[in-house]
Amino acid sequence: MIFKKLFLSFALLPITLFAQKASVSKKVTDPYAVVDKKALALPDSLANTTQGIADYIKANFTTDSDKTRAIFIWTAANIQYDIDNMFAINFYEKHEEKVSKALKTKKGVCEAYAAVFNDVCLKSGLRSYVITGYTKQNGFADYIPHAWCAAQVGDGWFLFDPTWGSGYISDHKFVKKINNAYYKVPPSKLIKSHMPFDPMWEFLSYPITNQEFYEGKTIENKSKPYFSYTDSIKAYEQMSDVEQYAMAARRIEGNGVKNSLVYDQLQHLKREVELYNNNKKVEESNAKVNLYNAAVADYNDGVNNFNNFIQYRNAQFKPMRPDTEIQAMFDAAYDKFTAAQNKMSQIKKPDANIAQLMISLNKSIDDAMSHADEQKEWLQKYFSKGKMGRAGMFTKYTWMGIPLN
């Protein structure tokens, strides 16, 4: 999802958070050192596409944990936060274009970080999602949205914010400094600062409401109804886009529309559902018109073929043709009338204009079939007789079987 305004809100975090206490003399072993070194050795030739990055990840790391770490550190270390364009967002930019631009320029805002991390995860065989929502720092909820990621590591879901994990802003400049506090964060911990628009993406059995988030009440309350987010995500993955939008809108509305960000997201989803339904109505209407037009075409072809048959019958089937050819000539007309009937029967609940046209066409098709049935019965008798018997059967007809004499 593309936002009107994006931000790097952790610029407000005190820089002292990154400093170690001077009194600590014991060397701390970096648990990620080995993975990070290998991840950051990814060749430049592979860094231009998420597929190239993913191929390197799959070739060098085996566990879900190592893969997510490698993807996180590479993304956080190689993408620079784009302060100059933090508000210059293209609302209609496609996901692929967003990823491609971030990898080409090695710059981006939170959605670019999240998009790259997510895309590499997916191409590395991991389940992953981009999550959109808003954040809170120093007791205050931000008024502009944010994007981060979720990925399944082993049997559990964890949260990753490669933007906040990449550094911070100081004096209007981006300072690159890896912050592992935003790598592989348990959902119950990140909910203190990150609030998804859709509560399903909290990954909590007792979701926190927007009101509770504002009030800092982020400890799960087990007196609430239990929510199986694992089952909901499985169901979500089987849904169409519009079904996902509709269900997300219900969850968001149920979790409380606390601020304009939540409201805008809710309205966006409702508009998507409405647009889909409107387009579906137009498509259905067009399909009915197309079926009607196809039925008209079949009817007209049937009339032309039937005329040809009648003219040949009036000529007493001269010049002579095999019975199979005569039958085929008749069938060409009869089959077209039948096809027109079948198409008309497929048109359900037509609008007033189509319904009126259908009345006239159905009557014409029924009349044509009635005359065609008469000729079908006559032709069966004709084929059952010998040469002399056939000669006595001819009576001249004009269009639709009305005798001339």
For the segment 216-248, what is each residue's pLDDT rounded down to a tens digit? Answer: 999 999 999 999 999 999 999 999 999 999 999
Domain end: 196, 212, 238, which one? 196
Q: How confident is the model at residue 87 (pLDDT cuts 50, 70, 90)?
A: low
pLDDT value for 394: 83
Any domain includes 233: no
Q: Read off the DSSP letter of residue 137.
A: E
pLDDT at res. 206: 97
Provide the mean pLDDT of the chain: 89
Task: Give the model's confidence band at 125: pLDDT under 50 very low, under 70 low, under 90 confident, else very high.
Answer: very high
Residues 151 and 58 in one domain: yes
Q: Kindly state the average pLDDT of the residues 69-80.
A: 97
User: What pLDDT sits at residue 22?
Assistant: 36
Q: What is the DSSP letter of 48?
A: T
Provide the 10 A C-beta neighbour count for residue 255: 24
Same domain, residue pair 55 and 189 = yes
259: which 2 tokens? 């601020």
- Would you place residue 79 in the very low, low, confident or very high pLDDT band (cuts 50, 70, 90)? very high
For 149, the 3-state DSSP assignment is strand
Q: Which of 321, 336, 323 minimizes the C-alpha distance to 369?
A: 336
379 vs 6 pLDDT, higher one:
379
Residue, of 397 and 224, whose pLDDT is higher: 224
Checking if the pLDDT of 17 tops 50, the result is no
Beta-strand pair 128-137/140-141: antiparallel
pLDDT digit string (tens) for 252-278? 999 999 999 999 999 999 999 999 999
Task: Decide if 385 is inside a domain.
Answer: yes
Residue 402 confidence (pLDDT):
53
Any domain includes 262: no
CB 329 within 8 A of CB 312: yes
- At 157-180, the pLDDT tens digits run 999 999 999 998 888 889 999 999
Which band of pLDDT confidence, cut at 50, 70 and 90, is reported for residue 3?
Answer: very low
55 occurs within a structural domain: yes
Residue 343, pLDDT score = 96
DSSP 185: B
Q: What pLDDT sits at residue 322?
A: 95
CA 334 – CA 365 distance, rounded (Å)? 11
Q: How open is the CA angle 103-108-110, to the nearest 5 degrees?
A: 120
Dihedrals phi, psi of 295, to nearest 5 degrees: -65, -40
pLDDT at 96 over 80: yes
Q: Are 161 and 148 spatial neighbours (Cβ–Cβ below 8 Å)?
A: yes
Residues 53 and 185 in one domain: yes
User: Is residue 290 situated within a structural domain?
Assistant: yes
Q: In this structure, what token pair is assigned to residue 204?
A: 């909590």
- Of all helices (H) and strands (E), which one includes residue 112? helix 110-123
pLDDT of 401: 54
Give the mean model confidence (pLDDT) for residues 197-219.
97
- pLDDT at 18 (0 to 100): 32
pLDDT, mean of residues 119-146: 93
288 and 173 co-located in one domain? no
What pLDDT, in 10s, does the model give residues 363-391?
A: 999 999 999 999 999 999 999 999 889 98
pLDDT of amino acid 396: 60
* pLDDT value, residue 286: 94
DSSP class of 393: T
What does the pLDDT read at residue 16? 30
Both tokens of 139, joined, read 């007791």
Last residue of a domain, one of 144, 174, 196: 196
How confident is the model at residue 391, as a pLDDT? 87
Residue 281: which region, alpha, beta or left (left: phi > 0; alpha: psi -120 to 50)? alpha
Count of domains forming the chain: 2
DSSP state of 194: E
Phi, psi of 76 (to 5 degrees): -65, -35
Domain limit, last residue, from 172, 196, 220: 196
Phi and psi at residue 168, to the nearest 5°: -155, 170
Q: What percent of the chain has pLDDT over 70?
A: 88
The beta-strand segments (E) located in 218-284 are none
Q: Give me the pLDDT at residue 7, please.
A: 31
**What is the domain range of residue 163?**
9-19+29-196
Domain of 120: which CATH number?
3.10.620
Q: What pTM was computed for the model? A: 0.75
Asked if residue 77 belongs to a domain, the reply is: yes
Name every residue whose Cβ is closer than 8 Å to that of residue 249 and which is 6 or more positions away in sequence.
266, 269, 270, 273
39 and 177 assigned to the same domain: yes
162 domain-assigned: yes
CA 124-42-165 angle, to 5 degrees, is 75
One domain, residues 163 and 296: no
Would you say residue 51 lies in a domain? yes
